[in-house]
């Protein structure tokens, strides 16, 4: 590396006051303007990418003219170095200040935070994302009088990504947002809000809000919610500051403050509450006649219980709307615009006549609860022959049907499901039908293996022998006696015929059902002598949707929904039931109770999702210089009182609904009379024709 020259441009280098990975910062003094000192940042690298980044940093910073951003005087090249000349801030960086003091008092930390937030909000408004907010890039003069944001070396302008490397982590470890770990291109202005929240914690605690450094690389841990200041040993700081830091360090970008100014305003509001003893009502002109003050409204349960998970941008827009409509002049402009929209029917210059007495701002919330029910029908016992006993050799505990894992739900969709075998429920038993031999006794032969054959009756074996003996004797007689010869053959046959018939003995044949074996194949165990018995159940899923909204007297919710756009402010899911904090919101608790009415021992809720949207509404109380004389009470005279009107300004659109009270009835009566006159004249003309 070449040695540094004594002069760079019109500045003489005096001493090194800072050093980065690829650059050094030197204190320098102007050649002619001896009282002008400057900080000159000199690029050490000759790499083309680093030169482009260095040049772009100077270009971006020179376009940002803000009291809390370090101004750029000059930028150029003096071989072999590229350099940038900027204002010298005596005192060093916030990191140096913390190294000296450990931690800062709350008032000084709040001042530095406020200044850095203002600079960051200005940069974001001009489309610049810093991407490296850390204690090393915030400069603080010795007494804290001035605070300046510096080092836009890896900043990105909206719509210009030519210098951003995909999948490359850039920034200071410990101050990186979860998006930094994804890719440099995933970093947005909300990532700067995250890093600024880490800076606030470090100023108050002197350490990171984790016991490790979250991010990538060796030793890096997961991104997680921050520790509380109390856990870091910090005392004397309002507990609400922890809430602000948790919001800024929300893992989901949408749950962070939408801008740095919103975070600074939240901190200022906390500090004012803890430092002031009186509050001043706003929105009521000093000259207006006083009315009975309304007690301050408690925060809505949504804003109080679910604050950490609310999407902050719409809530911040509602706050800005409330601030604007707390000005009587803004309300007067709206009333005048309402009058001009239909000049023939509405009172003219309603805003000029109205004297605003009170404004009340509230949000009306709509709740949508999506529920996915899972039904597991009672367990059934199923058996089958033990053909594949060798395939199931795993030993495990028998699970309850609600312990059996099922496919994850496909969102809030109905599923027909199916039949599932319960793990650990398989049993091998001996078939009690065949007594474990695989065969049962043949019902036809009763195990004798034979059955009688079906044949016609026959003479018994003994009957033919007697007949034959008689015939033989007769023949002998005929041969020995002359008289015997006179006997006819028919007589002998008749003698045989007169012998009684004897039943034939049965003929046995093999049993055709069992093939002469005495047993048949056991159909229950399929001949294997064993049964596999296991338990199953049928499951299915069905989704449901339930809705509700806040019901406030005097508010036409139907008109509100038709004409105003709801802004989503909350969307969270819960597995196996509902989040406990949901029950703290009355409208949601009612939906949960309705959802639970459908539960039974066979049905449970496995997934739920709560979505909350809202529309801001402003109630205004005013009079139109109209006086009402009250009734006399006895002899005591009562003073006249102004007639007070209550009306509503609806939505972010700032709409005023039609109201009969503010129509121009005199003009309407005149128009009606004129119309009737014309109609009568036409009718008479027609009759005269």
Which DSSP symbol is given to 648? E
Q: Give the closest residue to 413 by CA, choosing from 373, 443, 448.
A: 373
CA distance 670 to 581: 59
Pairing, β 156-157 against β 128-129:
antiparallel
Whether residue 107 lies in the annotated active site: no
Centroid of chain to Cα 429: 50
Residue 422 dihedral angles phi and psi, to the nearest 5°: -80, 120
Q: Give the closest residue to 96 by CA, choosing from 38, 135, 149.
A: 135
Residue 473 dihedral angles phi and psi, to the nearest 5°: -65, -40
**CA angle, 35 then 37 then 40, to 5°:** 160
Residue 125 dihedral angles phi and psi, to the nearest 5°: -65, -25
| Inter-axis angle of helices 106-125 and 260-275, nearest 10 | 150
Q: Give the closest residue to 650 by CA, choosing from 674, 684, 681, 619.
A: 619
For the beta carbon of residue 492, count every other beta carbon within 10 angstroms. 17
How many residues are there in the chain?
Answer: 689
**CA angle, 291 then 297 then 299, to 5°:** 160
Residue 409 has which token pair?
Answer: 């739900």
Question: Which single residue is written with the structure tokens 């312990």?
Answer: 403
CA distance 373 to 543: 6
Cis peptide before 418 (omega within 30 of 0): no
CA distance 40 to 294: 60
| Side-chain half-sphere exposure of 689, counting CA atoms within 13 A | 6
Q: Which residues, 6+ apart, have CB-to-CB distance to 349 below 8 Å?
A: 336, 339
Cis peptide before 220 (omega within 30 of 0): no
Residue 371 has which token pair?
Answer: 């529920």
Q: Give the closest residue to 241 by CA, choosing from 135, 136, 104, 126.
A: 104
CA distance 64 to 308: 33
Q: Give the closest residue to 179 by CA, choosing from 158, 193, 200, 160.
A: 193
Radius of gyration of the chain (CA): 49
Question: Among the options 52, 96, 99, 132, which is catalytic?
Answer: 132
Catalytic residues: 132
């Amino acid at each position: 590396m070449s040695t540094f020259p004594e002069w760079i441009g019109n500045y003489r280098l005096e001493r090194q006051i800072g050093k980065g990975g690829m650059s050094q910062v030197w204190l320098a003094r102007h050649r002619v303007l001896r009282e002008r000192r400057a900080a000159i940042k000199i690029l050490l690298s000759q790499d083309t990418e680093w030169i482009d980044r260095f040049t772009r940093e100077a270009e971006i910073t020179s376009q940002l003219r803000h009291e809390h951003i370090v101004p750029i005087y000059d930028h150029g090249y003096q071989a072999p170095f590229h350099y940038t000349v900027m204002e010298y801030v005596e005192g060093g960086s916030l990191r140096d200040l913390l190294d000296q003091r450990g931690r800062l008092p709350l008032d000084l930390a709040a001042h530095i935070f406020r200044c850095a937030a203002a600079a960051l909000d200005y940069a974001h408004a001009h489309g610049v994302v810093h991407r490296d907010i850390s204690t090393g890039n915030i400069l603080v003069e010795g007494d804290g009088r001035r605070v300046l944001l510096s080092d836009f070396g890896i900043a990105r302008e909206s719509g210009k990504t030519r210098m951003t490397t995909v999948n490359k982590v850039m920034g200071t470890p410990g101050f990186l947002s979860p998006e930094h770990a994804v890719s440099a291109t995933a970093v947005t202005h909300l990532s700067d809000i995250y890093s600024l929240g880490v800076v606030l914690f470090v100023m108050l605690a002197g350490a990171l809000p984790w016991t490790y450094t979250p991010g990538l690389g060796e030793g890096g841990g997961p991104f997680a919610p921050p520790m509380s200041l109390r856990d870091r040993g910090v005392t004397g700081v309002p507990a609400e500051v922890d809430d602000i830091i948790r919001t800024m360090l929300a893992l989901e970008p949408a749950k962070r403050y939408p801008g740095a100014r919103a975070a600074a305003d939240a901190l200022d509001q906390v500090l004012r509450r803890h430092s002031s003893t009186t509050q001043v009502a706003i929105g009521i002109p000093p000259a207006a006649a006083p009315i009975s003050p309304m007690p301050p409204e408690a925060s809505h349960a949504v804003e109080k219980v679910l604050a950490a998970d609310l999407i902050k941008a719409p809530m911040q827009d509602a706050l800005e709307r409330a601030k604007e409509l707390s000005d009587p002049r803004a309300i007067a402009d709206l009333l005048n615009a309402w009058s001009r929209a239909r000049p023939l029917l509405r009172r003219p210059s309603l805003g000029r006549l109205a004297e605003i007495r009170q404004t009340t701002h509230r949000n009306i919330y709509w709740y949508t609860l999506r529920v996915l029910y899972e039904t597991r029908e009672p367990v059934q016992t199923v058996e089958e022959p033990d053909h594949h006993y060798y395939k199931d050799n795993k030993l495990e505990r028998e699970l309850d049907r609600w312990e059996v894992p099922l496919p994850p739900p496909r969102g809030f969709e109905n599923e027909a499901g199916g039949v599932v075998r319960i793990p650990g429920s398989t049993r091998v038993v001996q078939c009690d039908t065949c007594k474990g031999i695989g065969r049962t006794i043949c019902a036809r032969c009763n195990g004798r293996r034979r059955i009688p054959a079906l044949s016609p009756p026959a003479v018994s074996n003994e009957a033919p022998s007697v007949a034959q003996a008689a015939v033989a004797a007769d023949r002998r007689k005929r041969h020995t006696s002359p008289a015997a010869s006179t006997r006819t053959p028919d007589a002998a046959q008749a003698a045989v015929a007169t012998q009684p018939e004897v039943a034939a003995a049965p003929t046995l044949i093999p049993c055709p059902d069992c093939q002469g074996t005495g047993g048949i194949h056991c159909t229950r165990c399929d001949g294997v002598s064993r049964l596999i018995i296991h338990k199953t159940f049928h499951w299915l899923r069905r989704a449901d949707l339930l809705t509700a909204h806040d019901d406030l007297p005097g508010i036409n919710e139907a008109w509100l929904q038709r004409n105003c756009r709801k802004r989503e402010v909350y969307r969270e899911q819960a597995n196996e039931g509902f989040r406990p904090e949901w029950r703290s919101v009355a409208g949601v608790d009612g939906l949960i109770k309705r959802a639970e009415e459908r539960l039974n021992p066979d049905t449970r809720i496995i997934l739920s999702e709560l979505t909350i949207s809202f529309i801001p509404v402003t109630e205004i109380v005013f009079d139109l210089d109209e006086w009402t004389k009250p009734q006399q009470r006895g002899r005591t005279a009562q003073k006249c009182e102004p007639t007070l009107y209550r009306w509503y300004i609806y939505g972010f659109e700032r709409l005023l609904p039609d109201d009969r009270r503010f129509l121009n009835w005199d003009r309407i009566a005149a128009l009606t009379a004129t119309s009737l006159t014309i109609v009568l004249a036409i009718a008479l003309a027609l009759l005269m024709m």
